[in-house]
Structure 1
Amino acid sequence: MADRRARVSDVHQLAAGMPHVTVYPGTEDRPVYQVGGKSFVFFRTPRPDARDPDTGEKYDDVIVFWVDGEQDKQALLQSGPPYFTTAHFNGHPSVLIRQSELGRLSLTELTELVQDAWLSRASKTRARAWLAEHPT
């Protein structure tokens, strides 16, 4: 069976399915997924730094995924859409994806992105335990 395109519901399912995850309600329907009190995936509220270049409208569908540092961030950004960032996130170990662009990723790619986000924020003990159970 071919790998299908990623969906927003997959983000919720994958993030909530990682161990030791708590869901902070956030605002509106924008949950924040945390491990050990540290966010690793969240649905961002519209902000002035993320706008449609044609209409100027604030993006209202941005998801933030933590990464394991600047090198990983740059590698994802250089791979092109759907990954992007804004000046607000300069120096921040994360990449952004619009929900409307999520289908550019396969479910496998999204799974890896969510798992890597979790690993970047989990304690070393939790990360080691998870990696031992999920060898690559």
Structure 2
Amino acid sequence: MNAPEDRPARPEDIDEICAALPETELGISWGDRPTWKVPRGDKGKGFVLYRAPGKTAIDPETGEMYDDLVVISTPTEVEKNALVEDESTPFFTIDHFRGFSAVLVQQSRLGEISRQELAEVITEAWAAKAPEKLVREHFGE
């Protein structure tokens, strides 16, 4: 039997992974969008955001606005480009995010990667936004 990390990622894994990281909370940003932030409280910075459908993110095949997008921060543009350019992953970007270190992924396509791969991308997003001391404590450095 496969370990849970080896199985395909599912939409519910996003919240499970985010909630398991230190000092995270599910809050709101961009007006009304559910957003995972670190650390808890007023100083929290978003690292995973459930994006509302919008005219800047259109499915090229259907012409419809994506209705299941998640925005995941990346540490830098280098990591963003590596994820976007890797055709084996469902991560992509749009013009609206040019110059912004984050990737987009449709929840309906998460199964194209493993839960472990999703956890790695989300953990990197968390580490990019979390206070340095918290990151060092989490990784034992």
User: Given the alignment of the two structures, is residue 110 of structure 1 paired with residue 113 of structure 2, yes or no?
Assistant: no
**How far apart in 2 are the matches of 1:88 and 1:53?**
15
Give the structure 2 partner of residue 41 of structure 1.
48
**How far apart in 2 are the matches of 1:41 and 1:125?**
20
TM-fit CA distance, 1:55:
2.3
User: Given the alignment of the two structures, is residue 69 of structure 1 paired with residue 76 of structure 2, yes or no?
Assistant: yes
Q: How does 1:11-22 map to 2 (within 5 A)?
A: 11-22=14-25
**How far apart in 2 are the matches of 1:10 and 1:54?**
27
Give the structure 1 partner of residue 102 of structure 2.
94
Flag structure 2 segments of 5+ consecutive residues without an equivalent. none
| TM-align CA RMSD | 1.4
Give the structure 2 partner of residue 7 of structure 1.
10
Q: Which runs of 4+ in 1 moved over 2 A?
A: none
How many aligned positions are there? 131
**TM-score normalised by structure 1 residue count:** 0.91
**How far apart in 2 are the matches of 1:72 and 1:25?**
25
**TM-score normalised by structure 2 residue count:** 0.87
Q: Give the letter for the 1:77 counterpart.
A: V
Give the structure 2 partner of residue 53 of structure 1.
60
**How far apart in 2 are the matches of 1:34 and 1:25?**
9
